């Protein structure tokens, strides 16, 4: 299934990124964000807006896609990873095609030890 205008639906021809690897249901893209140059995204071939819409067949292939992605990033010798889904505009999603962010993390980087919830912990609602 392809969504017209979606840049992650490869049949649309809007993807300028180079695909790093593929499995039956997913492909890995490098991050285009200049602050996350050593990161990537696992993207399903079939259009869906978020992981809640993924099929059982996609979920069965997700483990192998994640393992292949980890193997790809292992060459960087990361000390850890941050993985994250942004779902919906309020959740920070900008491209409305399911994708998992994979961010290799390194000792000594400015946000070492700061995970996904770090930004939320810095702010208190109502203050």
> Over the stretch 64-92, which tens digit does the pLDDT of each residue have?
999 999 999 999 999 999 999 999 999 99
pLDDT in tens, 6-39: 999 999 989 888 999 999 999 999 988 888 889 9
Across 53-62, 100-109, 110-119, least confident range: 110-119
C-beta separation of 102 from 87 below 8 A: no
DSSP the chain: ---TT-TT-GGGS---SPP-EE-SSEEEEE---GGGTT-EEEEESS--SSGGG--HHHHHHHHHHHHHHHHHHHTT--SEEEEEE--STTTT--S-S--EEEEEE-TTSTTTT--TTHHHHT--TT-
The chain-wide mean pLDDT, for the chain, equals 91
Closest CA to 45 of 69, 62, 70: 62
Domains of the chain: 10-121 (3.30.428.10)
């Amino acid at each position: 299934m392809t969504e017209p205008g979606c840049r992650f639906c490869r049949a649309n021809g809007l993807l300028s990124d180079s695909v790093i690897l593929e499995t039956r249901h997913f492909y890995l893209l490098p991050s285009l964000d200049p602050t996350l140059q050593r990161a990537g995204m696992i993207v399903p071939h079939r259009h869906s807006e978020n992981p809640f819409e993924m099929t059982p067949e996609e979920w069965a292939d997700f483990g192998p896609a994640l393992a292949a992605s980890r193997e790809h990033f292992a060459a960087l010798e990361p000390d850890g990873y941050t993985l994250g889904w942004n779902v919906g505009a309020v959740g920070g999603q900008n491209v409305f095609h399911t994708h998992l962010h994979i961010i290799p993390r390194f000792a000594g980087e400015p946000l070492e030890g700061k995970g996904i919830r770090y930004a939320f912990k810095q702010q208190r609602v109502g203050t």
